[in-house]
């Protein structure tokens, strides 16, 4: 129950951030949005009494019906919740405050960043905001190796062309594309690149001492790889250890204290799974 409450709390926060980004940066500057929100922009433009939030909810109904069998009940329930909260928040923010236009370049930069953070938080909990996000999840089933942000660009771009045509300006499309790219990159960073994990390779004649020290102090597993020096032909033991970014200073200190001549390579590591790191989730994206 605690895990469920935490998950829906993060989804709610993500929805509010997403809606604020749209209401503050995107809507006042009339940037072309993709997906159902973009189509809602077009209808709202021609019929102002129909709000973007209300139209988003109405047009999501058939998409949720299509995705129900493919994506499973849990994902659809959490996505339905996210869609309702984000759509309602868009209308509430519009009623509470009249956000005026700003410098369009700053608006697409910060709008894309803020909405990307919100979307990333929602996707990280296995939910979506509906619309083309559901289409992206369905595409992810067919091409699981592609980042979700890249997959969402395809259907969103098609809708953005329609929105730009309705607004009658090429700027709406161009700024919208910049916003979409920024949003997708920020979202992918939230989903795939925020773990701050590293992997280190250590070549040292005192490999036993270093391995023992790291296992005792860092409580991390160390793997011993067999290697050969290309010049000398001598056998070498290469230590490999995965760790969090905050541990790097202490690890380098220990290695230097035990063997100042040790050769050390530290690389970024993404999606590390196992003890001490994240666990596999069947519904992860």
Is the torsion defined by CA of 32, 33, 35, 41 positive or negative? negative
Per-residue tens of pLDDT for the chain, all 285 residues: 788 899 899 999 999 999 999 999 988 988 888 878 888 888 888 888 888 888 888 888 777 777 666 666 667 788 889 988 998 999 999 889 888 889 999 999 999 999 999 999 998 887 877 777 777 777 777 777 777 667 777 778 888 888 888 888 888 888 988 998 899 889 878 876 656 788 999 999 999 999 999 999 888 889 999 988 888 888 889 999 999 888 889 999 999 999 999 999 999 887 777 776 766 665 555
CA angle 108, 8, 245 (to 5 degrees): 70
Neighbour tally for 152: CB within 10 Å: 28
Tokens standing for residue 172? 């709406």
Output the CA angle 241-146-190, nearest 5 degrees.
60
Q: 197-269 has which CATH code?
A: 3.30.70.120
Distances (CA, A) of 150 to 26, 70, 147, 177: 20, 21, 6, 13
Q: What are phi and psi of 125, to 5 degrees?
A: -95, 15
CATH 3.30.70.120 maps onto the chain at 197-269
The verdict on pTM exceeding 0.85 is no
Closest residue by Cα to residue 222 from 196, 235, 204, 234: 204
**Given the DSSP bridges, would you call strands 235-244 and 263-269 parallel, antiparallel or unpaired?**
unpaired
Q: What is the biggest distance separating any 2 CA atoms in the chain, rounded to whole angstroms?
A: 79
Listed in sequence order, the residues at least 6 apart from 140 whose beta carbon sits closer than 8 Å to its beta carbon are 146, 148, 151, 285
Query: Both tokens of residue 76?
Result: 């659809």
Residue 148's nearest CA partner among 178, 176, 128, 118 is: 128
């Amino acid at each position: 129950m605690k895990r469920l409450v935490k998950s829906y709390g993060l989804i709610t926060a993500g929805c509010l951030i997403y809606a604020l980004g749209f209401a503050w940066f995107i809507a006042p500057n009339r940037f072309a949005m993709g997906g159902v929100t973009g189509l809602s922009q077009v209808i709202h433009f021609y019929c102002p009494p129909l709000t973007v939030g209300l139209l988003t909810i109405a047009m999501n109904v058939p998409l949720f019906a299509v995705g129900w069998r493919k994506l499973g009940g849990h994902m659809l329930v959490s996505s339905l919740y996210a869609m309702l909260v984000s759509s309602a928040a868009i209308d509430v923010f519009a009623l509470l405050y009249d956000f005026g236009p700003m410098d369009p370049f700053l608006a697409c930069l910060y709008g894309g960043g803020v909405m990307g953070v919100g979307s990333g938080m929602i996707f990280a909990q296995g939910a979506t905001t509906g619309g083309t996000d559901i289409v992206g999840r369905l595409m992810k089933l067919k091409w699981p190796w592609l980042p979700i942000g890249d997959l969402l660009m395809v259907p969103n771009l098609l809708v953005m062309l329609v929105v730009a045509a309705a607004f009658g300006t090429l700027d709406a499309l161009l700024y919208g594309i910049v916003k979409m790219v920024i949003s997708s990159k920020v979202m992918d960073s939230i989903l795939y690149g925020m773990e701050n994990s590293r992997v280190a390779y250590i070549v040292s004649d005192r490999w036993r001492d270093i391995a023992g020290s790291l296992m005792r102090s860092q409580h991390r597993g160390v793997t011993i790889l067999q290697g050969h020096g290309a010049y000398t032909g001598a056998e070498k033991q290469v230590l490999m250890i995965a760790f969090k970014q905050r541990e790097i200073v202490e690890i380098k200190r220990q290695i230097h204290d035990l063997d100042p001549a040790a050769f050390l390579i530290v690389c970024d590591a993404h999606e590390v799974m196992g003890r001490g790191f994240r666990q596999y989730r069947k519904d992860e994206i």
